[in-house]
Amino acid sequence: MAGISSYGGYIPRYRLNRMLIYGAMGWINPVTITNAQGEKAVANFDEDSVTLAVAAGTDCLAGFDRGAVDGVYFASTTAPYKERQNANIVAGALSARDDIRTADFGGSLKAGTTALLAAVEAIAAGNASSMMVCAADCRLGKMGTSQEMIFGDAGAAFLVSDKDVIAEFKGSYSLAYDFVDHFRGAFAQFDRQWEDRWIRDLGFTDFIPQAVAGLCAKYSLQPGDFAKVVYPCYYSGARRSIDNKIGLTPEQVQEDMLGVIGDSGAAQPLVMLAKALEDARPGDKILLVGYGSGCDTLYFEVTDKIAELAPRRGISGSLAIRTDLDNYAKYLVWRRMVPADIGMRGEEDQWTRWSLVWRNSRVVLGMQGNKCTECGTQAYPPQKICVNPDCNAVGRFEPVYVSDKGGKIFSFTSDMLAATPNPPAIYGNVEINDGGKVQLDFTDCALEDLAVSKAVDFSFRLKYYDPKRDISFYFWKAIPAREEVA
Amino acid sequence: MSSEHVHQNLAEEVRSIGGYYQVIEEAALPFKDREVLYLVEIGHVETSCCGAGGIPFIFVPGYIVSWRCRENDCGLPVSEVERITDEDERKQITERIAETLRGKYPHFTQVSFA
């Protein structure tokens, strides 16, 4: 049986009230007020689609053996690298093995569902036992556009396997159309779209019912057979038309969370699916639709195993951890939409030494430390000589990943001179649970959130961005432990 | 002289060739011992020869004479209103509405009278 064995989600902590956008930019395009309800999730300055995917993947893998993962698929239309596989960065941060299959899926908003489909079909074909699918997007609309209002940042992840399946994959049906509603050229920063009516009436309202009808015909199903139908569509009026056209009751339609997250692009259907699984019951049939350059439909049936899945943060838990981003200009700077002066230190050249990065890739990406096989003392960064003064064994270690262990604040300070788009820079020393001490940046927090001995989690983030060479460089940072924030 | 005003459902897209309009709020403004009906509306141009866009505006049908006194053939409520033709009154009402809506609906500057 192939299907979903676990799910996870991640919504960035910062939420931007859409009326703040309207207040700043409504003068240039006043009709954007129709999209100005609620708030949207905004990635922190040190987050991007890769870090969001890692956070969702970490949530998904809670309680599962990372060493058992046979592949990592990453889906996004805002991947930071065109050449350098983004899925490898995600796999490294999730402490996956080296002998796995990795792939980036992009080029369409249905990339998320296509990646999920590829993973379940790999499992069904017996080519792998366990695959991770991580999807995330941080799309940008130009200032003053409806896209700026609608787009939100989020990630979702699924562990697909043939063991302990909570939602069995039952089948799929796809449509491929070169229907150009939204598009970005190879070097475009911002989304462009064609006319709303065309997208709404010919795109969403036609293709989604077509795809659902195709799947139903293929498997002799009726739309009424599904407990939940998950599909993306940011036009609320069109959602009602689509529901009527397919013949769905309001209870069958999964909420799109547009008013609290926004449309998260390639991740949107998967974010909605993760939310649907939070409330799903054994026997529920779930229909997932991905939209963009056509449609993917995937049909799942929830199993009894869903009751045995350990509680996780998921979409609901992640949504509950929130802070208002009460400054539109800060949003623009964080998303690199406008230049801001961060001081002369910010102009220093950032050299990325790829040979050094390769030598330390597991330490940097996976936060891999080591543990003395003689006395059990854990160390991070990894040591060659055991730091236990009563041991001092040489070269007798086994690797240990510490990224999910958390720690306690040993010391911290804030620095208004350090170059950062979110001053003050806060950094300090963290004692890792079970052993090891490391100096880290603190993020997703204010100075008053921190105290010596307070618990922290580790979060995979952009350590720096080199604009000269377009290099996104990642490392782990400390964030206040989620349970304490919530 | 009174005339009829048909109340559209709030936030519903009233579609036409090339676009639609939406009434996003309707309210009554006390003015000289009477009540002035005004609507906060947005007109969207989606498909036209000259592009896409839109305009937010305030529409003032007139003084309320009889509030939602009947339904029309489409089941929509109808009020009886008295059009405001006096230029001085129009100017004062425009200023009062702008003042009232400034915080809630910034960038809504055009006021049209029936």
For the segment B69-80, what is each residue's pLDDT rounded down to a tens digit?
999 999 999 999
Residue type (1 letter), A124:
A
pTM of the model: 0.93
Interface pTM (ipTM) of the complex? 0.78
- If you search the block for the tokens 């569509």, which residue do you land on? A233
pLDDT tens-digit map of A421-472: 999 999 999 999 999 999 999 999 999 999 999 999 999 999 999 999 999 9
Which residue from A23, A30, A237 is facing B56, i.e. has the nearest CB? A30
Does residue B13 belong to the interface with chain A, where contact is any CB pair within 8 Å?
yes
Chain A residues close to B22, C-beta within 8 Å: 34
Distance CA A194, CA A313 (A): 37
The reply to whether residue A22 touches residue B106, judged by beta carbons under 8 angstroms, is yes
Tokens, residue B71: 């339904």
Q: Testing the interface with B: which of A18, A31, A199 to mutate, by most B Cβ within 10 A?
A: A31
Tokens, residue A443: 């993020």
Using the Cα atoms of residue A105, residue A402, residue A307 and residue A70 in order, give the sign of their dihedral.
Answer: positive
Which residue from A27, A31, A196 is facing B42, i.e. has the nearest CB? A31
φ, ψ dihedrals at A73, nearest 5°: -110, 135
Chain B residues close to A197, C-beta within 8 Å: 19, 46-47
Give every CB contact of residue B43 below 8 A, 6+ residues apart in sequence. A31, B19, B20, B21, B54, B55, B56, B57
The reply to whether residue A196 touches residue B44, judged by beta carbons under 8 angstroms, is yes
For residues A289 and A295, the answer to whether their CB atoms sit within 8 Å is yes
* A344-348+405-485 to CATH, choices 2.40.50, 1.10.10, 2.60.40, 1.10.287: 2.40.50
Tokens, residue A309: 């899945």
pLDDT of residue A17: 97
pLDDT of residue A483: 62
Task: Classify A398 as helix, strand or coil.
Answer: strand
Give the DSSP H or E segment for A389.
none
Which residue from B19, B47, B56 is facing A198, i.e. has the nearest CB? B47
pLDDT of residue A486: 37
The pLDDT profile of chain B, 114 residues, written as one tens digit per residue, is: 789 999 999 988 888 888 899 999 999 999 999 999 999 999 988 888 777 788 899 999 999 999 999 999 999 999 999 999 999 999 999 999 999 998 888 888 889 999
The reply to whether residue B47 touches residue A27, judged by beta carbons under 8 angstroms, is no
Distance CA A439, CA A478 (A): 9
Residue in chain A closest to B110 (alpha carbons) equals A30
pLDDT of residue B48: 80
The pLDDT profile of chain A, 486 residues, written as one tens digit per residue, is: 999 999 999 999 999 999 999 999 999 999 899 999 999 999 999 999 999 999 999 999 999 999 999 999 999 999 999 999 999 999 999 999 999 999 999 999 999 999 999 999 999 999 999 999 999 999 999 999 999 999 999 999 999 999 999 999 999 999 999 999 999 999 999 999 998 989 999 999 999 999 999 999 999 999 999 999 999 999 988 999 999 999 999 999 999 999 999 999 999 999 999 999 999 999 999 999 999 999 999 999 999 999 999 999 999 999 999 999 999 999 999 999 999 998 888 888 889 999 999 999 999 999 999 999 999 999 999 999 999 999 999 999 999 999 999 999 999 999 998 999 999 999 999 999 999 999 999 999 999 999 999 999 999 999 999 999 999 999 999 999 976 443
Q: Report the CATH superfamily, name and number, of domain A3-334.
A: Thiolase/Chalcone synthase (3.40.47.10)
Do the bridges between strand B14-16 and strand A455-466 make them parallel or antiparallel, or are there none, so unpaired?
unpaired
Closest-CA distance, B105 to chain A, in angstroms, reads 8
Chain A residues close to B106, C-beta within 8 Å: 22-23, 26-27
Q: Testing the interface with B: which of A37, A193, A197 to mutate, by most B Cβ within 10 A?
A: A197
Distance CA A478, CA A445 (A): 9
Cα A295–A298–A303 angle (5° rounding)? 160
The reply to whether residue B105 touches residue A33, judged by beta carbons under 8 angstroms, is yes
Comparing C-alpha atoms, which of B36, B16, B45, B51 is closest to residue B81? B36
Distance CA A161, CA A123 (A): 6
Distance CA A66, CA A475 (A): 19
Cα B57–B19–B27 angle (5° rounding)? 30
**What are the sequence ranges of the domains in chain A?**
3-334, 344-348+405-485
Task: Classify A474 as helix, strand or coil.
Answer: strand
The reply to whether residue B107 touches residue A30, judged by beta carbons under 8 angstroms, is yes
Residue in chain A closest to B108 (alpha carbons) equals A30
Q: Testing the interface with A: which of B46, B49, B102, B108 to mutate, by most A Cβ within 10 A?
A: B46
pLDDT of residue B30: 94
